Amino acid sequence: MPRVGADEKLQRLLALVPWVAAHDGPSLAEVCARFACTETELVEDLRLLFLCGLHPYTPDTLIDVDVADGRVWIRYADYFSRPLRLTPAEGLALLAAGTSLLAAPGADPAGPLARGLAKLAAALGVSAEESVDVSLGPAPPETLQALSEAAAHHQQVELEYYAFGRDEWTRRVVDPYAVFSAGGQWYVSAYCHSVEDERLFRVDRVRRAVTLESEFEAPDGPRELTVYRARPDDPRVTLELEPSARWVVEQYPTESVQTLPPTDGPVGAVGVAEGTGGRLRVTLAVSEEAWLERLLLRLGPSATVVEGDPTVAARAARRLLARYPGVASPPWSTSG
């Protein structure tokens, strides 16, 4: 039996808690069958809940777990009934993480977690369909399960995968080392035979995953499960960002960040006057030019290329405009 990692245990525990709480004492056998674990593993997971709570760890701040006569009950602590006060950014982050959790094996797509996320999405003005469109949605459960099982049994997988950086669909055979979640997304860390190197694949960009009969030998030692690692020979670009574009620092890995004094011009709806600070100068690694094109087109006049190729956005804009004859050239098509 392959050893289950801490990340997988945590994902299973987060998924089973709302399901068990909503079913008023399901049997241990039923929970084990739904979440693909043994009774010993389940009991060990449930013991962790006794330690989950808030200071000062009084009964009203701890989750209550009761196992008796082959059944289990989970009752939330009193503080779960208190309304949350979230900023829009916190709400979107919670929506992304919760929606990703719905893809975990055993999670109930119509259960209390799904209903709570639907209410949160409505409060944020985002529909469930829109959350999928903006990459807040889950990876396909069947794909996630196939990749997790292949990683556990050291079986190779053939992927039909959308390479976001190159904007194309690719087909490749991989050795899946580990499946994990980060930042509201599911990833598989694998050795890709097409490039003969390790790569990280987002599961929601996998259109098809076929488990092969061929097996692979897993490398020794723990794997470094990071979402992005820049290569030494990747080009770098330095951007000056207006206050409204400071989200780039939060969303993408940066190699350096320098705060610049605010400009003397008028402040927009999102700017220095609202406490977002001044302009930033950031340096980013660019593994694929298509990614940088998308970023610069999204930023528009809110970013200026100060080091690197300043014509990247202009080239991308010209390609887009070529598809729409007669459309006037926008102001950002010739700017950094």
**197-202 and 280-285 strand pairing:** unpaired
CATH class of 141-215: mainly beta
159/146 Cα distance (integer angstroms): 11
Half-sphere exposure of 178 (CA within 13 A, CB side): 19
Cis peptide before 56 (omega within 30 of 0): yes
The CATH number fitting domain 236-334, selected from 1.10.287, 3.40.1010, 3.30.70, 1.20.120: 3.30.70
pLDDT tens for each residue of 120-137: 888 877 654 444 333 434
Distance separating alpha carbons of residues 159 and 140, to the nearest angstrom? 14
Q: In sequence order, what are the residues at sequence separation of 6 or more whose Cβ sits closer than 8 angstroms to the Cβ of residue 110?
A: none
Most confidently modeled range among 26-40, 240-254, 256-270, 284-298: 26-40
Note the pLDDT of residue 155.
94
Confidence (pLDDT) at 284: 86
Angstrom distance (rounded) from CA 154 to CA 2: 10
Residue 333's pLDDT band (cuts 50, 70, 90):
very low
| Sequence-distant (≥ 6) Cβ neighbours of residue 181 within 8 angstroms | 7, 11, 100, 101, 187
Per-residue pLDDT at 132: 39
pLDDT digits (tens, 9 = 90+) for 15-64: 888 888 888 889 999 988 888 888 888 888 888 777 776 766 676 777 88
Do the Cβ atoms of 282 and 257 come closer than 8 Å?
Answer: yes
pLDDT digits 0-9 by tens, 162-215: 887 677 889 999 999 988 766 556 888 899 999 888 888 888 888 889 999 999
What does pLDDT average to over the chain? 75
Among residues of the chain, what percentage have pLDDT more than 70?
69
Every domain range in the chain assigned CATH 2.30.30: 141-215
Would you state the pLDDT for residue 334?
37
- pTM for the full model? 0.39
Asked if 143 and 154 touch (Cβ cutoff 8 Å), the reply is: no
Give the C-alpha distances (Å, rounded to integers) separating 81 from 76, 77, 84.
9, 8, 9
Residue 66 neighbours by CB under 8 Å, 6+ apart: 72, 73, 74, 75
3-state helix/strand/coil string of 249-287: HHHCCCCEEEECCCCCCCCCCCCHHHCCCCCEEEEEECC
SS3 239: strand
Q: Is the pLDDT of residue 321 over 70?
A: no
| pLDDT tens readout for residues 253-268 | 778 888 887 655 444 3
Residues carrying CATH 3.30.70, the chain? 236-334
> What is the reported pLDDT for 274?
35
